[in-house]
Amino acid sequence: MAASFISRMAPPRLRIFYAILAIFVVVALFAPWIAPENPNSQNLLGRLKPPGSDVRGITYWIGSDELGRDLLSRVIYGARVSLMVAVLSVVGSGLVGTSLGMIAGYYRGVTGTVIMRLVDIVLSVPAILLAIITVAIMGPGLVNVVIVLAFTRWPRYARVAYGQTLGLMSLPYVRLSQTMGAAGPWVIRRHILPNIIGPIMVVVTLEIGLMVLFEAGLSFLGLGVQPPTPSWGAILSSGRNYMTTAWWIAIFPGLCLFTLILSVNVLGDHVRDMVEKRR
């Protein structure tokens, strides 16, 4: 079923990327059943073992870390953390940014000016720097990382929604609804939102990869998901100390990050092309 869906959605040259993304999603959803070991179970006799090692009945398929934890299990659970943070932060920032952008574009005037100047202020600070500052103030943790990433990325949705809404305001059916006395929220919900959902979805697909990268960066710096919860960024951070003796600790989560972000970005480009063709 999944294979037939991918074949219908993507051209042949992109099916591999759709399949890779689907694999990551399945692994994240079913991590407790797929992971061979408890990701936090320590075995000091098996610390820093290379891929394929077998210690006390435990096979370390891609090696173990400095505490003897199964790296494969930690990478699998790390996929769950990364995708959960990415999806939740994208949903949060998308809802806030799209709503504010439509309100600014529909009402314009003082309301629109205030909202868009706030957008300019947030965008004037680099997103990763703003995220680091905010996490440092709020404290690290899974929930705080989601809130921080949603807070730093909503302006991108607001700008897209604002521009698309301005373009729709001159269309006959929107002006007719206003002339007949339709309330602003009704017009936004009935006429504006359905017609800007395509460009917003393009932003969503591109932002998911960025959210995965930002979460990994914050965890790498110790400001994201906290130990012992597995996170690709945290595993990379610990693995950098063992690059010469246990290269696998950093290499495998790094490859997962690269592959996931590449697949999501290719998906985003494909969605953008489809939206542009329909215009």
Assess if residue 3 is contained within a domain. Answer: no
Q: Is the pLDDT of residue 6 over 60?
A: no
Question: Does 5 fall in a domain?
Answer: no
Residue 221 lies in a domain: yes
Residues 105-157: tens digit of each pLDDT: 998 889 889 999 999 998 888 877 888 888 878 888 888 889 888 888 999 99
Number of compact structural domains in the chain: 1
Q: Domain with 210 in it: what CATH number?
A: 1.10.3720.10
Is the dihedral angle over the CA atoms 66, 68, 72, 78 positive or is it negative? negative
d(CA 202, CA 223): 29
User: What pTM, to 2 d.p., does this model score?
Assistant: 0.86
Establish if 2 belongs to a structural domain: no
Q: Which residues have CB under 8 Å from 205's CB, separation 6+? A: 264, 267, 268, 271, 272
pLDDT in tens, 201-237: 889 988 998 899 988 988 888 888 888 888 999 999 8
Between the two ends of the chain, the Cα-to-Cα distance in Å is: 30
Burial (CB count within 10 angstroms: exposed 0-12, middle 13-18, buried 19+), residue 1: exposed
Cα–Cα distance between 260 and 137 in angstroms, integer? 30
Task: Give, in order, the Cα–Cα distances in Å from 4 to each of 12, 19, 24, 61, 85.
Answer: 12, 11, 18, 31, 28
What is the tens place of the pLDDT at every residue in 163-201? 999 888 888 878 878 778 778 788 888 888 888 888 898
Is 129 or 32 the better-scoring residue by pLDDT?
32
CA distance 45 to 38: 16
Residue partners of 171: CB distance under 8 A and separation at least 6: none
Residue 6 counted as domain residue: no
**Domain assignment of residue 30, yes or no:** yes
Residue 11 within any structural domain of the chain: no
- By the 10 Å C-beta count (0-12 exposed, 13-18 middle, 19+ buried), 258 is classed as exposed
Query: Which of 83, 56, 59, 47 is CA-nearest to residue 238?
Result: 47
| pLDDT score for 9 | 55
Lookup: tokens for 223: 């400001």
Asked whether residue 4 is assigned to any structural domain, the reply reads no
If you search the block for the tokens 């729709």, which residue do you land on?
Answer: 168
Tokens describing residue 127: 């997103």
b/e map of 140-166 (b: 16 or more CB within 10 Å)?
A: bbbebbbbbbbbbbbbbbbbbbbebbe
The domain containing residue 46 runs over which residues? 16-278
pLDDT of the residue at 142: 84
- Please name the amino acid found at residue 116: M
**pLDDT recorded at residue 129:** 82
149 contacts 209 by C-beta, under 8 angstroms: no
How long is the chain?
279
CA distance 130 to 151: 9
If we measure between CA atoms, which residue out of 56, 81, 84, 86 comes closest to residue 70? 56
